[in-house]
Amino acid sequence: MSKEEVKALVNKVLMDEFEKDEGELKETASLFDDLELDSLDGIDLIVALEKAVKGKLGRDVKIEEEKAKGLKTVGDIYTVVDQLVNK
């Protein structure tokens, strides 16, 4: 997947699952401060991203707990998903 496809996939998950507007989804946007997600949303986000990637690629992927804990911004999500899908 290209970086643009990864961004589109991540943005779609954030818009569909958390009712965020595309204008809010900047690489520097903080998941907790700017997008107002909480820790439970963080877990839901990981599950939704894994499902979305599986739907796109047809294979299971797992975002490791350590990587998940390091997700602070939308840009962090782009990077982790990009690494997962382009191993």
| Domain spans in the chain, listed from the N-terminal domain onward | 3-85
pLDDT score of 11:
98
Q: 35 and 24 in contact (C-beta within 8 Å)?
A: yes
- The fourth-level CATH superfamily of domain 3-85 is ACP-like (1.10.1200.10)
pLDDT score of 70:
94
Longest CA–CA separation in the chain, Å: 33
| CB half-sphere exposure, 4, CA atoms < 13 A | 0
pLDDT score of 87:
78
Would you write out the chain's pLDDT as a tens digit for each of its 87 residues?
A: 999 999 999 999 999 999 999 999 999 999 999 999 999 999 999 999 999 999 999 989 999 999 999 999 999 999 999 999 987
Global pTM? 0.93
